[in-house]
Chain A
Amino acid sequence: MFNGRSLVVGVALALFSLAGVADSALQWETEILHLLKHDCGSCHGMTLRGGLGPSLLPERLKLFTQEQLAATILHGRPGTPMPPWKPFLTEQEALWLAGLLKKGIKP
């Protein structure tokens, strides 16, 4: 199963050591990963294999650039159920999430 806690800790630690970011950054990363798992997950599946929305696994996302994915996250896809997440995520946060998804989050 998706071990949320160790993933959050792992990702957060990795970023912490890379960039030496402050606690507040850890906070938003944790929140975004929670959002990804539970709110994105309600359509894309908690393991991101897809549901009403398509799979968000790296095999499929390699069709898109990180910037394209970030734009889809922020602005949604008109005509589909994908809503714009701009009210809740900054451009920087969307890019970070897009990069993470392209790399793959190990379930």
Chain B
Amino acid sequence: MRLIFIGLLLISSIGQAADCLPRGTGDLGIIIERAAGSVQVVDTTHRKALFRVEGLGDLSHASAVYSRDARYAYVFGRDGGLSKVDLLCGMLVKRVVQGGNSIGGAISQDGRLIAVSNYEPGGVKVFSAETLELVANIPATKTPEGKGSKTVGLVDAPGQRFVFSLYDTDEVWVADMSDPKSPKLTQFKEAGRHPYDGLITPDGRYYIAGLFGEDGLTLLDLWHIDKGPTRILSHYGKGEQQLPVYKMPHLEGWAVAGDLAFLPAIGHYEVLVVNRSNWQPAGTVPVYGQPVFAMAQPDGRQIWVNFAFPNNDTIQVIDTETLKVIKTLKPGKGALHMEFAPRGEEVWISIRDEDRVKIFDTTTLEQIGSLPVDKPSGIFFTSRAHKIGL
């Protein structure tokens, strides 16, 4: 125990904790430095970095959620690391390596539990948000080779639930964590071939998983969970040759504008448009490459799309009224991730190969600033703290 304590002290000192800042966190965020295994804590009002926090392990594929007081970021790393970062003190509070190979995580409705989904050994582990102690372990279904299925698309849902998908065994599971130590599972088999990621609508009602193994997506209505998952958009891209996918799309976030929702197609250079009232297709928007993220501005007026290699030097902006691309930006090579200011007046874009985050005005679509960041990838602002599914 003492050794662990000393270890933590050492890690903290690497983070070079300055005096903690007496301020709110509503305009703060973190930016992942994927190669260095560090994060920068940024102030979006003054567009400047406050701290760099190091020692978070392999962040080549990383995501983050926030505590409900928006002071702490929980960062999920590729190496199975779960790190709790204090934004006000610029400090790594605690880090546990909870799995062999993790892909993402979620925070529970009440803010007390952190769930992490793993590629290896598969399944979901649930931790105390306060101490990062293990609370529950939910192993995945085993594949015929005897390995736990890779587990993806983990989100929080109302009713103190987590929802996630099993890539290898084609399942969607709902875990009710009302009694944290003994999760109550609802498991749907044959939920679609190879779900690769999932999202939940901002009201927490519908869970949607993208499918790698077939056209279409899986939809689960959490208000009527007994009805089980159904397939939507199952005919998109039908009869067309699928294009190679050099980076899997992400369904994080939910691009909604009025009655329409926007989703990246897989194997097609298109953004799919779906009518939210009946889940029928409402069109497709041809775009520059394989979309990775399709993200709506907070006002729903425009959708911003980035692309997989070799088209990851480009961002396109779609007008949600005309369903047309109105602007093609070339912000630089390795445009990996976008994050909007809470009310959407600007968007921050990671440009990996330029070691820079560039800031664009969402009205003029012009660059208005930038920050030096080492190999930036995910950008996560604290406004996520109070949104279902983020």
Contacts and interface: CB of A to CB of B under 8 A. Distances in A.
Interface of A: 1-2, 4, 37-39, 41-43, 45-47, 49-52, 76, 81, 83-84, 87-88
Contacts of B103: 51-52
B150 A46 contact: no
A51 B103 CA distance: 8
B101 A83 contact: no
Contact of A47 (B79, B212, B246, B310): B79
A13 to B, nearest CB: 21
A50 B150 CA distance: 12
7 residue pairs, one from A and one from B, having the closest CB atoms: A46-B60, A83-B244, A39-B309, A42-B247, A41-B60, A45-B78, A47-B58
B244 A76 contact: yes
Contacts of A38: 334, 352
Nearest to B36: A1
Contacts of A76: 244
A45 B37 contact: no
Given A2-B35, A76-B244, A83-B244, A52 B150 contact: yes
Contacts of B101: 45, 49-51
B61 interface: yes
B291 to A, nearest CB: 15
A51 B37 CA distance: 17
| Residue from the set B36, B150, B196, B244 with the largest chain A CB neighbour count within 10 Å | B244
A39 B244 contact: no
B356 interface: no
B244 A4 contact: no
A1 B35 CA distance: 8
B244 A84 contact: yes
B196 A45 contact: no
10 contacts: A1-B37, A2-B35, A42-B61, A42-B248, A43-B247, A45-B58, A45-B78, A49-B58, A50-B101, A88-B310
Interface string B43-61: 0000000000000001011
Contacts of B325: none
B118 to A, nearest CB: 11
B28 to A, nearest CB: 26
B371 interface: no
Given A42-B61, A46-B58, A52-B103, 4 more contacts: A39-B309, A45-B61, A46-B78, A47-B60
A84 B242 CA distance: 12
Contacts of A45: 58, 60-61, 78-79, 101
Given A45-B101, A51-B78, A83 B60 contact: no
